[in-house]
Structure 1
Amino acid sequence: MANAHKHKQRVIRGADDQLWNDLDTATRAAGTDRSAITRELWEWYVQRPGARLPKRPASSEETTA
């Protein structure tokens, strides 16, 4: 199967459309994607060795100040 993903696809509920779009915009600004950031957050949350919170992109206030 040429289009098979390496990992099993999961569903995340509870994110409204605006939050989903904001996350997409922020991850692209950071040069990454939603899946990578989500994985990093989960690894940090369950205290995996070496896991760190992902760096957040600058907010619009920080980039204009």
Structure 2
Amino acid sequence: MTATIESIGFTATHDGEVALAVLIRFPNGGMSQVQILNEDIAKVMEKADVAAAGELVGKPWSVLNI
């Protein structure tokens, strides 16, 4: 079993830019949040073969590795 994307949202970076906030759930129940910078969101969505960021929910966290 692999970690999956639990939810997504948007947040601001330290520089005030928009980033995708991704909550990841691990098989042991642990959770972690990572940020995907605005310039990388399209690459992640392409790798995951989704048209909208909300469609990332349920995908394996490996789609975030671009």
Under TM normalisation by the shorter chain, which class is it? Answer: under 0.3
- Structure number with larger C-alpha Rg: 1
Higher strand share: 2
Higher helix share: 1
Q: Structure 1 length as normaliser, TM-score?
A: 0.27
Q: Structure 2 length as normaliser, TM-score?
A: 0.27
